[in-house]
Each structure stands twice: as structure tokens, then as C-alpha cells.
Structure 1
Amino acid sequence: MSHLVEQMAYVSRTPWHGLGNRLARQQPLEVWLQQAGLDWAIEESPVRFVSGAPNQPGELLSFDDHKVLYRSDTRAPLSVVSRRYRVVQPRQILEFYRDLTEVSGFELETAGVLKGGRKIWALARTGQSGLLRGNDRTDAYVLLATACDGTMATTAQFTSVRVVCNNTLAVALNGAVEAVKVSHRSIFDAEAVKSRLGLSVSSWDDFMYRLKGLSERRLKDTEAKAFLHRVFQGPQGSSRTRANERAMASVQALYQGTGRGARLASAQGTAYGLLNAVTEFVDHQRRARTAGHRLDSAWFGQGAALKKKALDQASLLVA
């Protein structure tokens, strides 16, 4: 079975996905580059092909509108993209955090490579935290990721991690930018991205205020079941509906007490507890080929979309 995570590094406790090389804290970016598998560059080459019938001599031609991206270390191909495609290098992902870690008190926590180098990310803790009832702590992070296979723009976003269970959730801010996405047709400007993202104390306080509201919203059983239907149900009679019924049952069990932190005062019987049942299901239990596939989905794919849908539906319960 293939693993999506080629290499990664982390500090502190083992990440929720259980992968990576453990580092001592406060390591320089150069150490992170090596240990996270980011010490290489994305190179470019013209696309060439041989015309003619199979197994017959042909003419070597160029596909002028496109180029091949490949790794400088292994020479392994990464993708074929338009000539207008602007690459974001692995080093740029870590360099984004240099002033944040050296001046602003941030600390890198994980960084790594997915899909053989086609997707790259780094995650840093901002130093901000919030507490809900029952000493239920959530920490603030900034995630920066990019891909060179056309699957995603370079994306920076505020992310929260609930400490008791390591559940992750993109921070959605009222009246502010949830994520900054830079198209690969544009030049990646790290300082402009930081400015647009708004890495401020007030943004985090606003998010924690929303979580507090969810933790104070008591739910009836009928409300919890209706919430799960809105989040999970597909068209009536589809195979997806049957699969989602199993997912709903798993989430309901997590909400009713089997989930990590489900019996804390902030979560038991509340909209916040129900939201965390969904995030725990996506991050830890949802079926995936490997832990790397689950990470990719939970941060960038269907799992991330499902968590966002759950947050939107939970927010309606306190509107």
C-alpha cells in the first residue's frame, strides 16, 4: 500500500496522523528543510514527444505551451503544466515562517511532503490559545501549503487544534478572510499573504467567542440528528446515502460519549461537542487507504470540506 506522506518532521507530541521525524524544539529552518524532506527544488523542462506509430521511428517534437516540472534531487517528474504556471519552491514554504518564528513568537510544529513532492506544507503554532469550560483548550496555528500538480493554489489559513483530541478545524472568521489563495499564475508574495490573512489577536478572539457560543448551546436529541442529516446526507437512495448513514452513526457515538473530550463540560450535549464529533471522525476514523491519505483529505480535500460544512451548520444553531 502506497503512502502519500513521503517525509515530514514534527516537534512536541506525535501528530494526530502518527507520522514523521521528531525534532527538538527551536530548530533552525535549515534543519527543518532537511528533516522534513524539503531540501530540493522544483526544476522545469520543455515538453518533448515522439510522433509516429507505436514502435516506429518518429520525429521529436515540442509541446510549446507546456513544461514538465521535476525534482532537482531525484529527477522524478512531478507534473506537466502550462508555461504560465509559476512554481512555489519547497524552501519558500518554510521561509514564509522565518520572521514569524524569529520575531513574532511562532513555532514550527510540522512540515512535510505529500505525493512524492506534488504537495508541500508547513504548520506553525502562533502562541495563541483559548479555554472553554472544563479546561478545554484550543491552540491557534497557521498552515501554508502548495501543490505543483494543478490540484490546489498556494493556500495560507488559520487552523485550530483542540488539544484534548488533536482535532483540526480551519478557522472561519466573521467579516475576515478564512484562507488566502494565490493562483499559480501569480507570483507568490509572502508578505502580502500575511497581510491579507490578518494574523491578529482580535481574529483569534473572535473565533474563540464563536466556539464559546457553541459550547453554551445545549442540543435536544432531535436537533443533533437533524444536524447530522444536514451535514452527511446525499440524494435519497444513493449508495452514498447508505455509506453516510454509517458515518452518521459513528459521529453520533462519538458525540454521545466515546469521543475524546466528549464528556467535558464544553462538549457534553452541546453544539460544540457535536462539531468536534465530526472533526474527530474526519481526522481519526474516516476510512482512508493510509494515514497520509487521511491527512491530505482532512486538510485539503473532502474531509476539510466536510468539517467546514459542519462548522457552518453548527453556527446556524446559535445564529
Structure 2
Amino acid sequence: MSANVETMFYVRETPWHGLGTKVGEALFSQKALELSGLNWNVIQKPIYTSDNILISNYKVNIRESDDKVLGVVTDRYKIVQNKEAFSFTDSLIGEGCKYETAGSLQNGRKVWLLAKLPDKYKILDDEVTPYMVFSNSHDGTGAIKVAMTPIRVVCNNTLNLALSNAKRIWSTIHTGNISSKLNEAMKTLLLAESYMENLDYEAHYLSRKTISDEKVLEFIELLLPLPDNASKTQEKNINLLRDDMKLRYFDAPDLIDLPKTSWRFVNAVSDFATHINPLRKTKNYKENLFSKTIDGNPLIDRAYALVESIV
């Protein structure tokens, strides 16, 4: 397990597989809270200098179970407990809400949970399942985020395109009335239906835009450019990545029978971005891959922009 993952469970092989402990089936919130290791509270304490002088306007967030210091925050910072995150998600999704992964990173400073939304969709005969991700930080460095992420079931590829006319991410800082802000998030995420409708529209639109093999190769070079004054090793590595992306477009079993269209290209890039093993694995590359599940993957969005530009 990566050094940055503290505790985690997951149900199935996902785009961020390899982290945490696998369980047999999706879990209801109480069991998910326990198996993810998130059944702890955060408390705030004042901060003093070594001379016992109170430092005004700041507090320290501490994990109550083991007195682990999570971060220094302003006195306006409002805590969202892990249990509250699960309760919010239960309320949003409704009866039968189950979780497929949850856990903490960086010794509890960052936490997340992921649940499957109840609706299933067909996009160009592909089953696409939307998931909701709730992420939070207890160290004062990040916002509360709620995101809807569609996943193409046949290959576990994310399809979280940055559509200009449909929102899929809501976020807020840890100040003010957090309860009312979460209610606002609930209203926003109920627009998931709108996002899926727009994604379906874009898929049909892109499926009608044919793309030549030459254009595919051109786009791959634009997506994976050689740096200026590249060394032989860099050139070799970029060419390996380009070959991998080409293979996914031309020969992937789930795409090979599709017409050569812009939609096929976007899916090939999604497959590459979701599952590629980097040539140099940093200790937290899987966490970075997971964060792109929430925030969106710049490579997929660039591919989408490229095919959108085709006349």
C-alpha cells in the first residue's frame, strides 16, 4: 500500500485499484465508517507558545482517538466530521446507499468516500454508472468537495468530461454555516441527471464526427509532446506512451468494433489516462490518479477539446 494511504477499503477493481483492503460487497454507512478506519472525531484546541502565551485567531485540529495533529486552522474553520460526511451522502442518495470505497490519506489529514448513485444509464449502448465522491481535508489546506463521476462499466474508465453546460463538482471552504452549505451541495448534486443527459448528447454528437487515422496520430502527438531538446531516453519513453495510447485506440477489445469517431478517441484517451502505469512511479501516483477521478483528468479534457475542434 502507498505510504500516503493510511486506511482504506474498496469493493472491486477500480481505476485506483491496489490501495487498501478489498471487501466482498458494497457497504452501508456504519460498516463503511468502521472498515475504512474513519470512525474517529476531530477536535479543536487552542495554540500556545512555549512561554504559554495564547496564539489568537488560530486553533489546531487534532484526531481525538490518538491525539494526532492534523493541521493548524483559523478560528473560523468549521469541522465536518467523518460521520457527518457519511450522513450527508446517505441523505443525498437515499435509501439503500452503499459505499464502494472510503479512507484517509496523509495520516488522516484528508478523507474521502465514494458511493454508487442508484440510476443506471445507457450511452451509445454502453452501461455507464454514476458515482458520488465526497472529499474533505482536516488540515485546513483543502475545500469540501462533492463530485459526480460517471464510469463506463465495461472497462472501468472515467468519463468525467468538463462539459461547459453541465456542472458535476461542488465545493466550499470550511467557514460559515456548514449545514446550510451541505444543503446547497445536495441541491447541486441532484443535477447529476442534467450532467448525464448532456454527456449522452455529447457522446452522440462525437459519435457522428469521423476521425482519420492520420488525425488520431496527430492528436496523440499533441497530447503526449516531446519536450524541447529531449534526450534519447525521454524520446524513447514518450514513444512508449504514444504506442500505448495508439494500441488502446486501434486495438482495445471494447473499442475495436466501434466506428472510428471522435467518441472512440475520447474513450481511448480515457482508458489510457485511467489505467496507464507511469514510466516512473512516484510514491503517491495512485492517490493522484484518484484525485483526478474527483477533479477531472486534464488529459481527457484536452482530448475532448481536440475532437471538439474538428469541423
Fold similarity call, TM over 0.5: yes
Q: Within 5 Å, give how 1:68-217 maps onto structure 2.
A: 68-103=60-95, 106-133=97-124, 135-188=125-178, 189-217=181-209
Q: Is the 8 A contact 1:146 1:154 kept in 2?
A: yes
Structure 1 segments (4+ residues) deviating >6 Å: none
Deviation at 1:176, TM superposition (A): 3.0
The residue number in structure 2 matching 1:310 is: 303
249, 254, 263: which is aligned to 1:255? Answer: 249
Q: Deviations over 1:113-155 (max 9, x none)?
A: 122212211112213333345x432211121111233443111
Residues 44 and 62, structure 2, Cα contact 8 Å, conserved in 1: yes
- Mind listing any 5+ residue stretches in structure 1 that lack a counterpart? 51-58
Unpaired segments ≥5 residues, structure 2: none
CA contact (8 A) 2:166 2:194 kept: no
Segment drifting more, 273-282 vs 161-170: 273-282
SS in 2 for 1:170: coil
CA pair 129-40 structure 1, distance change in 2 beyond 3 A: same
How big is the shift at 1:277? Answer: 2.7
Q: 1:122, 1:302 → 2: CA distance?
A: 14
Q: 1:6 to 1:252 in 2, by over 3 A?
A: same
CA distance in 2, matches of 1:172, 1:260: 26
Distance 1:293 1:87 in 2: 28
Question: What is the DSSP-based 3-state SS (H/G/I as helix, E as strand, rest coil) of the residue aligned with 1:78?
Answer: strand
**For the Cα contact (< 8 Å) 2:149–2:168, is it kept in 1?**
no
Deviations, residues 47-85 of structure 1 (Å, cap 9, x unaligned):
3343xxxxxxxx344432322222122222222222222
Aligned mates of 1:247, 1:187 — CA distance in 2: 47
The corresponding residue for 1:56 is none
Q: Is 2:5 aligned against 1:14?
A: no
The TM-score normalised by the length of structure 2 is 0.82
Distance 1:228-1:26 versus aligned 2 partners, 3 A rule: closer
> Identity rate of aligned residues, in percent?
26
* More moved, 155-164 vs 106-115: 106-115
The one-letter code matched in structure 1 to 2:158 is T
Q: Distance in 1 between matches of 2:55 and 2:253?
A: 54
Structure 2 distance, partners of 1:117, 1:308, is: 31
Superposed displacement of residue 195, structure 1: 0.7
- The 3 A distance-change label for structure 1 pair 124 and 28 is closer
